[in-house]
Amino acid sequence: MEYYWGNTRRFHSLADYYKQRYGTRLQKVSVHAGFTCPNRDGTKGTGGCTFCNNRGFNPSYCHDEDSVSTQLEKGLRFLKRRYSRAKRFVAYFQAYSNTYDELEVLKERYGQALKHPEISGLSIGTRPDCVNDETLDYLAELAKKYIISIEYGVESCYDDTLIRINRGHTFSDSVDAIKRTAERGLHTGIHIIIGLPGESRKQMLQQSQIISQLPVHSIKFHQLQIVKDTQMALEYASNPDVFDFFEPDEYIDFMVKFLERLRPDIAVERFAGEVPPQYNLRKSWQGLRSDQMIIMIEKELELRNTWQGKYYN
Protein backbone atom coordinates (compact mmCIF):
# COMPACT_ATOMS: atom_id res chain seq x y z
CA MET A 1 0.00 0.00 0.00
CA GLU A 2 1.24 3.46 -0.87
CA TYR A 3 0.62 6.10 1.78
CA TYR A 4 -0.19 9.78 1.58
CA TRP A 5 3.50 10.70 1.19
CA GLY A 6 3.91 8.54 -1.89
CA ASN A 7 5.73 5.40 -0.75
CA THR A 8 5.18 2.26 1.29
CA ARG A 9 6.92 3.32 4.49
CA ARG A 10 4.45 3.72 7.31
CA PHE A 11 5.64 7.14 8.38
CA HIS A 12 6.71 10.20 6.45
CA SER A 13 10.47 10.43 6.90
CA LEU A 14 12.38 13.66 6.38
CA ALA A 15 14.85 11.76 4.19
CA ASP A 16 11.99 10.85 1.82
CA TYR A 17 10.63 14.39 1.98
CA TYR A 18 14.04 15.73 0.92
CA LYS A 19 14.33 13.17 -1.87
CA GLN A 20 10.91 14.12 -3.24
CA ARG A 21 11.53 17.85 -2.91
CA TYR A 22 15.20 18.07 -3.92
CA GLY A 23 15.68 14.78 -5.76
CA THR A 24 18.45 13.56 -3.47
CA ARG A 25 19.50 12.83 0.09
CA LEU A 26 20.36 15.94 2.04
CA GLN A 27 22.87 15.74 4.86
CA LYS A 28 23.31 18.36 7.58
CA VAL A 29 26.80 19.50 8.51
CA SER A 30 26.77 21.04 11.99
CA VAL A 31 28.51 24.33 12.65
CA HIS A 32 28.96 26.33 15.83
CA ALA A 33 28.91 29.91 14.56
CA GLY A 34 29.66 31.60 17.89
CA PHE A 35 26.14 32.75 18.77
CA THR A 36 24.90 32.80 22.34
CA CYS A 37 21.42 32.55 23.77
CA PRO A 38 19.09 35.02 25.53
CA ASN A 39 18.41 32.45 28.20
CA ARG A 40 22.08 32.52 29.17
CA ASP A 41 23.24 36.08 28.60
CA GLY A 42 20.71 37.64 30.98
CA THR A 43 18.18 38.92 28.42
CA LYS A 44 15.72 36.17 29.36
CA GLY A 45 17.70 34.43 32.06
CA THR A 46 21.17 33.34 33.01
CA GLY A 47 20.94 29.68 33.93
CA GLY A 48 19.65 28.39 30.58
CA CYS A 49 17.07 25.66 30.08
CA THR A 50 17.38 23.05 32.79
CA PHE A 51 18.19 20.23 30.31
CA CYS A 52 20.80 22.13 28.29
CA ASN A 53 24.50 21.56 28.05
CA ASN A 54 25.56 22.48 24.52
CA ARG A 55 28.74 20.44 24.84
CA GLY A 56 26.55 17.36 25.09
CA PHE A 57 24.60 18.22 21.94
CA ASN A 58 27.31 19.18 19.44
CA PRO A 59 29.11 16.66 17.25
CA SER A 60 32.80 16.12 17.93
CA TYR A 61 33.96 17.85 14.70
CA CYS A 62 32.24 21.11 15.63
CA HIS A 63 34.21 23.69 17.65
CA ASP A 64 33.60 27.43 17.65
CA GLU A 65 37.33 28.19 17.79
CA ASP A 66 37.45 26.94 14.17
CA SER A 67 36.06 29.20 11.42
CA VAL A 68 32.75 28.22 9.86
CA SER A 69 34.53 27.04 6.71
CA THR A 70 37.02 24.90 8.69
CA GLN A 71 34.15 23.32 10.62
CA LEU A 72 32.38 22.62 7.33
CA GLU A 73 35.52 21.01 5.87
CA LYS A 74 35.92 18.78 8.93
CA GLY A 75 32.22 17.96 8.99
CA LEU A 76 32.08 17.14 5.29
CA ARG A 77 35.07 14.78 5.61
CA PHE A 78 33.41 13.03 8.55
CA LEU A 79 29.98 12.75 6.91
CA LYS A 80 31.28 11.56 3.54
CA ARG A 81 33.04 8.70 5.32
CA ARG A 82 29.94 7.86 7.32
CA TYR A 83 27.17 8.41 4.75
CA SER A 84 28.66 7.55 1.40
CA ARG A 85 25.31 8.12 -0.37
CA ALA A 86 25.05 11.76 0.75
CA LYS A 87 25.31 14.03 -2.28
CA ARG A 88 24.05 17.42 -1.12
CA PHE A 89 24.78 19.16 2.14
CA VAL A 90 23.33 22.02 4.16
CA ALA A 91 25.10 23.82 6.98
CA TYR A 92 23.30 23.16 10.25
CA PHE A 93 23.60 26.13 12.59
CA GLN A 94 22.97 24.03 15.64
CA ALA A 95 24.58 25.38 18.81
CA TYR A 96 22.72 27.99 20.88
CA SER A 97 20.27 30.44 19.19
CA ASN A 98 21.31 31.05 15.61
CA THR A 99 19.09 34.04 14.85
CA TYR A 100 20.11 35.87 18.01
CA ASP A 101 22.10 38.85 16.69
CA GLU A 102 21.88 41.89 14.44
CA LEU A 103 20.86 41.05 10.90
CA GLU A 104 24.23 42.23 9.54
CA VAL A 105 26.01 39.71 11.79
CA LEU A 106 23.62 36.95 10.76
CA LYS A 107 24.20 37.73 7.08
CA GLU A 108 27.94 37.52 7.55
CA ARG A 109 27.84 34.17 9.42
CA TYR A 110 25.29 32.57 7.09
CA GLY A 111 27.27 33.95 4.14
CA GLN A 112 30.42 32.16 5.31
CA ALA A 113 28.58 28.85 5.02
CA LEU A 114 26.84 29.62 1.73
CA LYS A 115 30.19 30.53 0.15
CA HIS A 116 31.33 26.92 0.50
CA PRO A 117 31.02 25.19 -2.89
CA GLU A 118 29.55 22.00 -1.40
CA ILE A 119 26.89 23.72 0.72
CA SER A 120 23.43 24.03 -0.84
CA GLY A 121 21.68 25.82 2.00
CA LEU A 122 21.14 26.37 5.69
CA SER A 123 19.25 24.72 8.47
CA ILE A 124 18.99 27.20 11.33
CA GLY A 125 18.21 26.11 14.89
CA THR A 126 16.84 28.77 17.19
CA ARG A 127 14.36 29.73 19.91
CA PRO A 128 10.83 30.76 18.93
CA ASP A 129 11.15 34.09 20.76
CA CYS A 130 14.34 34.94 18.94
CA VAL A 131 13.36 35.62 15.37
CA ASN A 132 12.02 38.92 14.04
CA ASP A 133 10.24 39.68 10.79
CA GLU A 134 13.29 41.38 9.29
CA THR A 135 15.36 38.20 9.70
CA LEU A 136 12.55 36.04 8.34
CA ASP A 137 12.17 38.32 5.30
CA TYR A 138 15.91 38.01 4.66
CA LEU A 139 15.76 34.21 4.97
CA ALA A 140 12.77 34.11 2.62
CA GLU A 141 14.89 36.01 0.06
CA LEU A 142 17.74 33.52 0.52
CA ALA A 143 15.29 30.66 0.04
CA LYS A 144 14.78 31.75 -3.57
CA LYS A 145 18.33 30.59 -4.26
CA TYR A 146 19.21 28.13 -1.47
CA ILE A 147 17.60 25.40 0.61
CA ILE A 148 16.62 27.16 3.83
CA SER A 149 14.91 25.68 6.87
CA ILE A 150 14.30 26.98 10.39
CA GLU A 151 14.13 24.64 13.38
CA TYR A 152 12.44 25.90 16.52
CA GLY A 153 13.02 24.41 19.94
CA VAL A 154 9.37 24.19 20.97
CA GLU A 155 10.17 21.43 23.51
CA SER A 156 6.62 21.29 24.96
CA CYS A 157 3.14 22.61 24.12
CA TYR A 158 2.46 23.35 27.80
CA ASP A 159 3.39 26.59 29.54
CA ASP A 160 3.62 24.88 32.96
CA THR A 161 6.34 22.64 31.58
CA LEU A 162 8.12 25.52 29.85
CA ILE A 163 8.24 27.38 33.17
CA ARG A 164 9.45 24.28 34.96
CA ILE A 165 12.34 23.76 32.53
CA ASN A 166 13.15 27.48 32.60
CA ARG A 167 12.65 27.97 28.85
CA GLY A 168 11.90 31.66 29.17
CA HIS A 169 9.22 31.64 26.46
CA THR A 170 5.65 30.46 26.15
CA PHE A 171 3.93 28.06 23.79
CA SER A 172 2.15 31.01 22.16
CA ASP A 173 5.63 32.37 21.27
CA SER A 174 6.20 29.09 19.43
CA VAL A 175 2.87 29.29 17.62
CA ASP A 176 3.58 32.87 16.58
CA ALA A 177 7.10 32.09 15.25
CA ILE A 178 5.90 28.98 13.41
CA LYS A 179 3.11 30.92 11.69
CA ARG A 180 5.31 33.88 10.71
CA THR A 181 7.93 31.47 9.31
CA ALA A 182 5.58 29.21 7.39
CA GLU A 183 3.61 32.10 5.90
CA ARG A 184 6.82 33.23 4.18
CA GLY A 185 7.10 29.83 2.51
CA LEU A 186 10.09 28.80 4.64
CA HIS A 187 10.52 25.21 5.72
CA THR A 188 9.45 25.20 9.38
CA GLY A 189 10.68 22.44 11.67
CA ILE A 190 10.22 21.91 15.40
CA HIS A 191 11.89 19.96 18.20
CA ILE A 192 9.90 18.35 21.00
CA ILE A 193 11.16 16.60 24.14
CA ILE A 194 9.16 13.55 25.18
CA GLY A 195 9.14 12.68 28.88
CA LEU A 196 9.55 16.07 30.53
CA PRO A 197 8.72 16.06 34.26
CA GLY A 198 5.25 17.26 35.23
CA GLU A 199 3.53 16.03 32.03
CA SER A 200 1.25 13.00 32.05
CA ARG A 201 1.51 10.46 29.22
CA LYS A 202 -1.91 11.67 28.06
CA GLN A 203 -0.70 15.28 27.84
CA MET A 204 2.41 14.19 25.97
CA LEU A 205 0.27 12.35 23.45
CA GLN A 206 -2.17 15.23 23.02
CA GLN A 207 0.70 17.30 21.68
CA SER A 208 0.39 15.30 18.47
CA GLN A 209 -3.01 16.87 17.82
CA ILE A 210 -1.87 20.33 18.92
CA ILE A 211 1.15 20.25 16.61
CA SER A 212 -0.96 18.92 13.73
CA GLN A 213 -2.97 22.17 13.81
CA LEU A 214 0.16 24.22 13.13
CA PRO A 215 1.81 24.89 9.75
CA VAL A 216 4.79 22.71 10.63
CA HIS A 217 6.74 20.84 7.92
CA SER A 218 8.93 18.59 10.05
CA ILE A 219 9.41 17.39 13.60
CA LYS A 220 12.36 16.04 15.54
CA PHE A 221 11.74 14.10 18.75
CA HIS A 222 14.12 13.85 21.68
CA GLN A 223 13.48 11.39 24.50
CA LEU A 224 14.31 13.04 27.81
CA GLN A 225 17.91 12.36 28.77
CA ILE A 226 19.71 13.63 31.84
CA VAL A 227 22.78 15.44 30.64
CA LYS A 228 25.83 16.00 32.79
CA ASP A 229 26.43 19.49 34.18
CA THR A 230 22.85 20.70 33.82
CA GLN A 231 20.30 22.03 36.28
CA MET A 232 18.18 18.99 35.50
CA ALA A 233 21.02 16.68 36.54
CA LEU A 234 20.97 18.35 39.98
CA GLU A 235 17.19 18.04 40.13
CA TYR A 236 17.41 14.37 39.20
CA ALA A 237 20.07 13.69 41.83
CA SER A 238 18.04 15.34 44.60
CA ASN A 239 14.56 14.23 43.56
CA PRO A 240 14.59 11.32 41.09
CA ASP A 241 10.95 10.40 41.80
CA VAL A 242 9.58 13.36 39.85
CA PHE A 243 11.02 11.84 36.67
CA ASP A 244 9.12 9.10 34.86
CA PHE A 245 11.36 7.95 32.02
CA PHE A 246 10.30 6.00 28.97
CA GLU A 247 12.04 2.69 28.60
CA PRO A 248 12.53 1.69 24.94
CA ASP A 249 9.45 -0.60 24.68
CA GLU A 250 7.12 2.00 26.13
CA TYR A 251 8.68 4.67 23.94
CA ILE A 252 8.00 2.61 20.81
CA ASP A 253 4.37 2.12 21.86
CA PHE A 254 4.07 5.85 22.58
CA MET A 255 5.63 6.84 19.26
CA VAL A 256 3.27 4.61 17.31
CA LYS A 257 0.30 6.30 18.99
CA PHE A 258 1.81 9.75 18.45
CA LEU A 259 2.32 9.03 14.74
CA GLU A 260 -1.22 7.72 14.35
CA ARG A 261 -2.53 11.13 15.46
CA LEU A 262 0.03 13.23 13.59
CA ARG A 263 -0.86 15.03 10.35
CA PRO A 264 0.43 12.82 7.53
CA ASP A 265 2.36 15.52 5.67
CA ILE A 266 4.57 16.38 8.69
CA ALA A 267 7.94 14.77 8.01
CA VAL A 268 9.71 13.08 10.91
CA GLU A 269 13.38 13.90 11.07
CA ARG A 270 14.28 11.73 14.05
CA PHE A 271 12.53 9.75 16.76
CA ALA A 272 15.22 9.82 19.43
CA GLY A 273 18.44 11.61 20.23
CA GLU A 274 21.84 10.36 21.32
CA VAL A 275 23.79 12.26 23.94
CA PRO A 276 27.45 11.12 23.96
CA PRO A 277 27.90 8.46 26.68
CA GLN A 278 30.25 10.65 28.74
CA TYR A 279 27.43 13.23 29.10
CA ASN A 280 24.54 10.82 29.56
CA LEU A 281 23.89 10.33 33.28
CA ARG A 282 21.14 7.75 32.92
CA LYS A 283 22.27 4.67 31.08
CA SER A 284 19.03 2.76 30.42
CA TRP A 285 19.05 3.30 26.63
CA GLN A 286 22.78 2.70 26.53
CA GLY A 287 23.86 1.17 23.25
CA LEU A 288 20.53 1.73 21.48
CA ARG A 289 21.24 3.89 18.44
CA SER A 290 18.67 6.24 16.95
CA ASP A 291 18.64 4.33 13.63
CA GLN A 292 17.82 1.10 15.52
CA MET A 293 14.90 2.95 17.13
CA ILE A 294 13.55 3.82 13.66
CA ILE A 295 13.66 0.16 12.64
CA MET A 296 11.87 -0.90 15.84
CA ILE A 297 9.14 1.72 15.41
CA GLU A 298 8.62 0.72 11.77
CA LYS A 299 8.33 -2.95 12.78
CA GLU A 300 5.73 -2.05 15.39
CA LEU A 301 3.74 0.01 12.87
CA GLU A 302 3.70 -3.01 10.60
CA LEU A 303 2.78 -5.43 13.37
CA ARG A 304 -0.21 -3.27 14.31
CA ASN A 305 -1.01 -2.56 10.67
CA THR A 306 -1.07 1.14 11.36
CA TRP A 307 0.58 4.30 9.99
CA GLN A 308 1.18 8.01 10.49
CA GLY A 309 -2.07 9.96 10.36
CA LYS A 310 -4.38 6.94 10.68
CA TYR A 311 -6.38 8.71 13.40
CA TYR A 312 -5.66 12.27 12.34
CA ASN A 313 -8.67 14.34 11.49
Residues that bind ligand SF4 in the complex, under the rule CB under 6 A = 37, 39-40, 48-49, 52, 54, 96-97, 127, 153
Q: What is the DSSP letter of 242?
A: G
Strand ranges in the chain using DSSP code E only, listed in sequence order: 26-31, 88-93, 119-126, 147-155, 187-194, 218-223, 267-270
Minimum separation from the CB atom of position 84 to ligand SF4 (A): 32
Spatial contact of 129 and 38, defined as CB atoms under 8 Å apart: yes
3-state helix/strand/coil string of 89-146: EEEEECCCCCCCCCHHHHHHHHHHHHCCCCEEEEEEEECCCCCCHHHHHHHHHHCCCC
Minimum separation from the CB atom of position 16 to ligand SF4 (A): 28
Spatial contact of 294 and 255, defined as CB atoms under 8 Å apart: no
**How many angstroms separate the CA atoms of 291 and 117, rounded?**
29
* Residue placing its CB nearer to ligand SF4 in the complex, 74 or 222: 222
Minimum separation from the CB atom of position 266 to ligand SF4 (A): 22
Minimum separation from the CB atom of position 245 to ligand SF4 (A): 20
* Residue placing its CB nearer to ligand SF4 in the complex, 211 or 227: 227
Give Cα separations from 184 to 102, 194, 241, 296 (angstroms): 20, 29, 44, 36
Is the torsion defined by CA of 259, 159, 127, 197 positive or negative?
negative
Q: Compute how many other C-beta atoms are within 10 angstroms of the C-beta atom of residue 31.
A: 32
**How many angstroms separate the CA atoms of 151 and 178, rounded?**
9
* Residue placing its CB nearer to ligand SF4 in the complex, 48 or 59: 48
Minimum separation from the CB atom of position 231 to ligand SF4 (A): 10
Minimum separation from the CB atom of position 297 to ligand SF4 (A): 25
Minimum separation from the CB atom of position 64 to ligand SF4 (A): 13
* Residue placing its CB nearer to ligand SF4 in the complex, 18 or 57: 57
Q: What is the DSSP letter of 222?
A: E
Spatial contact of 250 and 256, defined as CB atoms under 8 Å apart: no
* Residue placing its CB nearer to ligand SF4 in the complex, 71 or 120: 71
Is the torsion defined by CA of 136, 140, 141, 145 positive or negative?
positive
Minimum separation from the CB atom of position 276 to ligand SF4 (A): 16
* Residue placing its CB nearer to ligand SF4 in the complex, 48 or 75: 48
* Residue placing its CB nearer to ligand SF4 in the complex, 39 or 208: 39
Spatial contact of 88 and 22, defined as CB atoms under 8 Å apart: yes
Element (H, E) at 11: none
* Residue placing its CB nearer to ligand SF4 in the complex, 153 or 195: 153
